[in-house]
C-alpha cells in the first residue's frame, strides 16, 4: 500500500509521512486534522478575552498583548479546531467513521492524487472518494519540495 518515512521540516520538526513513489502525505494530517481530533485547549482563554473585550472595548484595545493574543487564538488554534471539526462532520455525513482502515483508505487516495501532480510549485486539487453513504470531496494542496518530492500541505473534506 505505502511506506512510512520520517522527514524533517524546515523548523527541524520530524514528520511521519506515508510515501509512495515521490509522494508524501503527513499521517497526522489525516488521522488528527482530517478525523476531527485537533484539540483546542485555549478555548476558555479565548472566551475570557472575548468577554473582556466586550465589557470594556476601549481598555481592551489599548492592551496590545491581549489584542495580539486574541488575534492569534482566533486565527490559529480556534481556526484549526473549527476546520478539523468541519472535516469530521463531512466524513460522518458520508458514512466514514474514525478508523485505521478508513484513515489508510484516505491516505491511499491522497497518494494517488499526489502522483498526478506535475511541475508547478503549489497545486490545489479537488478529488472525490466513494464512501458508504455518498461521496467525499477531498480538497488538497500540494507543494513540490526541493528534492522533487510532492508533499501534501493542506487538506479539507466536504460531504
CA dist 96 and 94 (Å) reads 6
pLDDT at residue 159, as a whole number: 83
Please report the pLDDT score of residue 121 as a whole number.
65
Q: Which residues of the chain have pLDDT under 50?
A: none
Q: In whole angstroms, what is the distance from residue 128 CA to residue 60 CA?
A: 46
Cell of 121: 510549485
Give the integer Cα–Cα distance in Å for 77 and 3. 30
Q: What does the pLDDT read at residue 119?
A: 73
Amino acid at each position: 500500500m505505502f511506506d512510512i518515512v520520517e522527514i524533517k521540516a524546515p523548523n527541524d520538526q520530524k514528520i511521519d509521512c506515508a510515501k509512495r513513489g515521490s509522494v508524501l502525505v503527513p499521517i497526522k494530517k489525516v488521522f488528527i486534522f482530517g478525523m476531527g481530533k485537533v484539540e483546542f485547549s485555549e478555548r476558555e482563554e479565548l472566551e475570557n478575552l472575548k468577554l473582556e473585550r466586550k465589557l470594556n472595548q476601549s481598555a481592551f484595545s489599548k492592551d496590545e498583548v491581549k489584542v495580539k493574543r486574541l488575534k492569534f487564538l482566533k486565527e490559529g488554534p480556534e481556526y484549526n479546531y473549527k476546520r478539523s471539526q468541519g472535516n469530521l462532520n463531512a466524513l460522518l455525513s458520508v458514512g466514514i467513521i474514525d478508523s485505521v482502515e478508513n484513515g489508510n483508505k484516505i491516505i491511499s487516495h491522497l497518494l494517488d492524487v499526489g502522483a498526478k501532480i506535475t511541475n508547478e510549485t503549489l497545486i490545489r486539487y479537488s478529488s472525490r472518494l466513494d464512501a458508504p453513504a455518498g461521496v467525499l470531496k477531498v480538497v488538497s494542496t500540494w507543494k513540490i519540495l526541493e528534492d522533487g518530492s510532492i508533499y501534501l500541505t493542506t487538506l479539507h473534506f466536504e460531504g
